[in-house]
Amino acid sequence: MASDDDRVLILGGGLAGASAAHVLARAGRRVTLLEKEAEIGGLANSLLHESEHGRFWYDFGPHRFHSVDQRVHEETIAVLGDNKVERARVSRILLYDQFFDYPLKLSKALVQLPKPVMLRAIFDYFVQATKNLFTSPKDRNFEEWVVRRFGRKLYEIFFGVYTAKTWGLPCTKISADWASQRISQASLWDTIVKSVFRPRKEARSLVSKFHYPAKGGVGEIAKSFARSAQGNGAEVRTGVEVEAVLVENGRCLGVRARNERGETEVIKAGTVLNTMPLTLLVRLLEPGAPAEILAHVDALKHRSMVFVFLVLDRPTLTHDHWIYIPEDTLTVHRLSEPKNFSDDCAPADKTLICAEITCDFGDEIWTKTDSELREVAVRDLVKIGLIKPEEVLETFSHRELFAYPLYDLEYREHLEAVLAHADGIAHLDTTGRQGLFKYNNMDHSIAMGFTAADNLLGEDADHRQVATGDTYFG
Ligand SMILES: Cc1cc2nc3c(=O)[nH]c(=O)nc-3n(C[C@H](O)[C@H](O)[C@H](O)COP(=O)(O)OP(=O)(O)OC[C@H]3O[C@@H](n4cnc5c(N)ncnc54)[C@H](O)[C@@H]3O)c2cc1C
């Protein structure tokens, strides 16, 4: 008879948890996965909105899947089966009241960007490149990191404004780690610099195509991994919220959870693999973590996000997957249109738009009602000339508390202390974007789930070393 010691208990059913379950169950391990929401998917879930205007699938912000990791790519494509489409990626950015292809193309940038701005950007780049030949100071924050690589003007017109708007912090208060993890050479400036100067060492290029589920939104990726795990005998339980992580004599024994029926249930396991937010994991430890560790936990912050969805009375608004809006007089910072990811996301004669607004839990954006959010989003979209107010048939919203881990100047010290504490508990591991407080993409979370599972299967795999970051503001 199977004992609790045989069980691997996975906490959280986002991509990291679902992909780990997929690998472990396929290898014949006894797996139980607990997810608090009604559905698998986490940050990369999709929900269906149905109304008199039709059926609309929406993600929590736009999600394009691609991976340079062959295993992640192949397994994800395989698990989706026929349920996928391939799309050419299309993004734009609003600069100086005009839409530019993103990343910028040299020919268009030269023609469309105000000449003084373009000349200044090129001049600043050269001044900075010359300075860099003689000095190489340590980058103390995001601003210094970007200015040293791209020059001051480009920092000012895009990186600086957009970043400060997204994080609600001046860029001198954001860690250089965030830039180094998230901005590759394959970004805004790269296209220009590469096409003119052709550096010897080619940077990793921006992918031009990506995959997306044909039906059911991006959430189908995590759901497909979970279904595969179930097919191999895993128990996947949704609507089960972990309320305590039980530790005895330095060893994790399992969890206490509020189960599907609203009852308290203790679930024991030989190994616990966490993918819930690391800060939550440590807060839920029973007995509790020491006060100094909880102080480090309190110091690790997340940026939250409100998504405002607008059903429009027109077949399509743009051809873009998303449009960046750095302009700081506008509240919305990015727009996306699910229909451009898959036709299945909206009926033929209507479209849905997602307006993202970053915020902090409990602030004036987070606490706005649906109708107040509608007002903000409609005002911004009208101001940039994209819609007319009368086209908006209905609006609704979604909130994500743990949208982005916030890399402020002190985060690393706090993170190391919190991770060291979690690592000191035997039979407990933590992975994924949330479980490692790492700003990463879907493919990275899948890679982390795979390698954490490999590790439990006795293979020499280090999920903490999954390389992250090849796109800007993914
Ligand atoms: C706006 C936005 C846009 C993005 N766009 C892209 C993109 O274009 N391309 C890309 O590759 N990536 C994108 N990402 C990143 C991607 O969404 C994440 O990297 C990935 O989904 C993280 O998966 P995860 O499993 O690590 O974490 P999560 O998905 O957060 O999973 C953690 C899970 O734990 C569950 N949980 C929490 N508390 C409990 C509890 N007490 N009990 C039980 N379960 C619990 C949560 O409900 C969640 O399901 C985007 C992210 C955001 C926020």
* Residue 140 domain flag: yes
Same domain, 284 and 418: yes
- Cβ atoms of residues 472 and 184 within 8 Å: yes
- Give the 3-state secondary structure of residue 141: coil
* Residue 210 domain flag: no
Note down the domain range covering 272.
4-44+68-83+215-300+408-465
Same domain, 281 and 413: yes
Same domain, 190 and 261: no
* Residue 175 domain flag: yes
**Is any atom of ligand 1 closer than 6 Å to the C-beta of 434?**
yes
Among the candidates 139, 171, 197, a domain finishes at 197
CA distance 467 to 218: 22
Please give the model's pTM, rounded to 2 decimal places. Answer: 0.94
Among the candidates 152, 170, 197, a domain finishes at 197
Q: Give the number of other CB atoms < 10 A from CB of residue 395.
A: 18
From atom 51 of ligand 1, which residue's Cα is the shortest distance away? 43
Query: For residue 68, which phi and psi values (nearest 5 degrees)?
Result: -95, 0
**Is any atom of ligand 1 closer than 6 Å to the C-beta of 446?**
no
- Cβ atoms of residues 314 and 321 within 8 Å: no
Distance 365 CA to ligand 1 centre (A): 21
Tell me the Cα Rg of the chain. 23
Which CATH number covers residue 240?
Answer: 3.50.50.60
**Is any atom of ligand 1 closer than 6 Å to the C-beta of 17?**
yes
For residue 272, give the nearest of 2, 459, 12 by alpha carbon.
12
Same domain, 186 and 118: yes
Counted domains in the chain: 2
Q: Which atom of ligand 1 is nearest to the CA of 18?
A: 25
Same domain, 121 and 265: no
From atom 38 of ligand 1, which residue's Cα is the shortest distance away? 276
Same domain, 161 and 283: no
Same domain, 111 and 193: yes
Distance 268 CA to ligand 1 centre (A): 25
* Residue 422 domain flag: yes
Same domain, 29 and 170: no
Same domain, 109 and 189: yes
Q: Give the number of other CB atoms < 10 A from CB of residue 101.
A: 15
* Residue 393 domain flag: no
Distance 272 CA to ligand 1 centre (A): 19
What DSSP string runs through 337-401? -GGGT-GGGS-TT-EEEEEEEEE-TTSTTTT--HHHHHHHHHHHHHHTTS--GGGEEEEEEEEEE
Same domain, 114 and 164: yes
**Is any atom of ligand 1 closer than 6 Å to the C-beta of 252?**
no
Listed as own residue / partner, the contacts of 453-461 with beta carbons closer than 8 Å and 24 or more positions apart are 453/19, 453/20, 453/21, 453/22, 453/23, 453/24, 453/27, 453/273, 454/23, 455/429, 456/8, 456/24, 456/29, 456/271, 456/273, 456/429, 457/23, 457/24, 457/27, 457/29
| pLDDT, one tens digit for every residue, the chain (474 residues) | 678 899 999 999 999 999 999 999 999 999 999 999 999 999 999 999 999 999 999 999 999 999 999 999 999 999 999 999 999 999 999 988 889 888 777 667 767 788 898 889 889 988 998 998 998 888 999 999 989 988 898 889 878 888 899 999 999 999 998 888 777 654 455 555 555 544 444 444 456 899 999 999 999 999 999 999 999 999 999 999 999 999 999 999 999 999 999 999 999 999 999 999 999 999 999 999 999 999 999 999 999 999 999 999 999 999 999 999 999 899 999 999 999 999 999 999 999 999 999 999 999 999 999 999 999 999 999 999 999 999 999 999 999 999 999 999 999 999 999 999 999 999 999 999 999 999 999 999 999 999 999 999 998 777 777 766 544 444
Distance 201 CA to ligand 1 centre (A): 33
Among the candidates 197, 230, 252, a domain finishes at 197
* Residue 403 domain flag: no
* Residue 274 domain flag: yes
Beta bridge partners of 7: 30
Here the tokens at position 47 are: 């929900």
* Residue 388 domain flag: no
